[in-house]
Structure 1
């Protein structure tokens, strides 16, 4: 999915994005405190944290829109402070909101930015056609952007970030305010871009969306990076930790939960489990959830005993661990 001709060959041997001990203060507030992590070519990387945690500030520094007090942010090996022009040619930035222009159509808007990036002649036409086709804006090319829905505006903003065929995309809250269909379509586009070899750094408060898209995540709170890794690594304690991480590599206790769906009297089934295992069972409808740290063989033995005792088991499984579990595990609810 090549949006514009490029003479550069991808280099997968070095990070596409690199933060190294990044620090940014505003008066007495440290918005970003020694943040360090890397994102590699073709990777979808989630950047999560509460409001005011430092996500947008870090992204703006990477995108050459702000400067750090110390440390560095690099794109494809080039520093955002020392080589801003090289960074801008390699990076597409999608902010969480952008201004609309009266009497400007979708095609005119993207054409303006294509020209701003120095695309001329066939290269400009090629880029416009490919980006508008990919984002499905070709169907509304002549529509004024002031009349677009939220979903179409997000597509237009993504198209603007893609118009110069960057290696790296920085997306700040791209799914905010979108309806379910628009979110699904956005997720499909992000997956397609990663498959094309682009690196994506995405911030979002919609953790379920990130869990389905991201290869790895970084969790930040009060300016400090708490954890970097896959959801599974963070939940198991096998993740990159910083001095701000207070979890000590502990495993999330929720990982030892069983969920049993039954037919019939859930109260009677709960009583049987509590008497048999001496633990507390939570009921939701006909679903029973309770902690269980036994092996696979122990689970099989428990299931057999439940069936033999007359409990009609419909399903029996481990509770699926989520990005929300990881987020709640490493954060402490601190705000600046």
Structure 2
């Protein structure tokens, strides 16, 4: 039967009651004005009719999908500007042209890689979550690419955008305080994003199986990360903390690293300190930051001959090939692949390996030399 307006005893608001093609409704209009309630009834009845014919994907908008994605543990980073632009638009009405136009509008003067990172990646994460809930169809969204040709926009050089050799990384990490050095070590031997590592808790790590679980990644899907054998003593020690319900990696004061909405900076002081120490020793290294590790893992796996499907699975990359969207590599090949990453002797010889948990409380001041 069609929806009707009814009033509950003692309530001033009008309620919708009835069903449309089997979809039952009993909900408040949140208004006491009958004319307004009647308009809500008409709109709601039309929504239910569309849902009954085409399924829920006919009426879910981007804001609803984004809210559900965040409620499931997804990252809110960069989403606010996107929901401002796309919020009320139905998922079924969003096309590639709309997406490209909005990306240029929101990030008018940004480089293609910036629009990709801050607009397309979070959008696709929300979309993939909607696909899992059958609110949207699986699509191959095109991401922005650098323009072809010889003319290039001049940009300032930034650390973290390129890979480095593991010997160079070992030298840099050896000049850091133990706690941040442990973070960098874990990043260089998992390929995880810094924010993923900072959020890890004890239940996410299975040392016996050499496996790490990330509940919600940047692409919107949970994933597993193989643990390099080199990291086993580190995780074994850090998991001995009494308060295992908090994050595994912490500052020398024992506090979890702060997760910033707009960007990084959690290790800035430690990075600057290592750079200063190396400069004083006439061995400057200024091209390493937390995200350098991810690029280095990716590049080294390619050099080691690891299959692209396996590399993508380890790094949690959003793949463009539709057939690879359904490829799930078993654990053993992932573990073999991650263990091909080299471990320099300098890295193995760092003093804090004898007791990572105890050493994590030590701190080297910004201007002090490494002992």
Normalising by structure 2, what TM-score? 0.24
Which structure shows the bigger proportion of residues in strand conformation? 1
Greater relative contact order structure (CA < 8 Å, 6+ sep)? 1
Which protein shows a greater Rg? 2
